[in-house]
């Protein structure tokens, strides 16, 4: 069973944090699915990933193409098959099931600390996943660097 890491974004927006996490995942050889809740938002994230510095190119694609299963990073708003995927990243409150966490190396929940609804949603996800037996860690960047604040 993999762990689920909760990232409380308080200093930088998702478009700054997501590339860092994706890069680290790709460095260890993981295939990653980034799951959101809205097609337009995922298209926006796709654009931001393409606009990154040339030296930090992140190979990725938006779901719905002919080669989704070949993408090292796939952005989607669907709950699709995660076969071959080692890491699932949830953005904008997208659901992650305990069964998915169990089948992965890692799951991540990224949430905006300035959005009360997002914070409440992340708390509900923490409770749901830890109650189901998933190991979880809570990370915050309040101090200016990522620090683990809780573990269950």
Query: HSE on the CB side for 120, CA within 13 Å?
Result: 3
Q: Residue 37 and residue 9: Cα distance in Å, rounded?
A: 18
> What's phi and psi for 21, nearest 5 deg?
-65, -40
pLDDT of residue 82: 86
Q: What is the pLDDT of residues 34-52, one digit of tens each?
A: 999 999 999 999 999 988 7
pLDDT at 22 over 80: yes
Q: What is the pLDDT of residues 65-119, one digit of tens each?
A: 888 889 999 999 998 778 889 999 999 999 999 999 999 999 999 999 999 999 9
Q: Residue 129 and residue 18: Cα distance in Å, rounded?
A: 22
pLDDT category at 2 given cuts 50, 70, 90 is confident
Pure H helices in the chain: 14-27, 39-50, 98-103, 116-131
Q: Which residue has the tokens 């620090």?
A: 147
3-146 maps to which CATH number?
3.40.50.10110
Its pTM stands at 0.94
Q: Which residue has the tokens 């097609």?
A: 39
- The kind and range of the H/E element at 140 are strand 135-140
């Amino acid at each position: 069973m993999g762990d689920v890491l909760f990232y409380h974004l308080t200093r930088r927006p998702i478009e700054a944090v997501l590339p860092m996490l994706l890069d680290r995942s790709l460095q260890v050889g993981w295939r990653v699915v980034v799951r959101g809740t809205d097609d337009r938002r995922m298209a926006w994230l796709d654009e931001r990933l393409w606009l990154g510095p040339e030296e930090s190119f992140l190979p990725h694609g938006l779901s719905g193409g002919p080669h989704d299963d070949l993408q090292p990073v796939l952005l989607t708003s669907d709950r699709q098959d995660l076969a071959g995927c080692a890491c699932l990243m949830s953005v904008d409150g997208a659901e992650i099931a305990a069964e998915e966490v169990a089948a992965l190396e890692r799951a991540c929940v990224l949430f905006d600390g300035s959005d009360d609804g997002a914070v409440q949603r992340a708390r509900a996800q923490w409770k749901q996943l830890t109650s189901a037996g998933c190991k979880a860690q809570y990370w915050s960047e309040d101090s200016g660097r990522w620090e683990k604040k809780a573990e269950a």
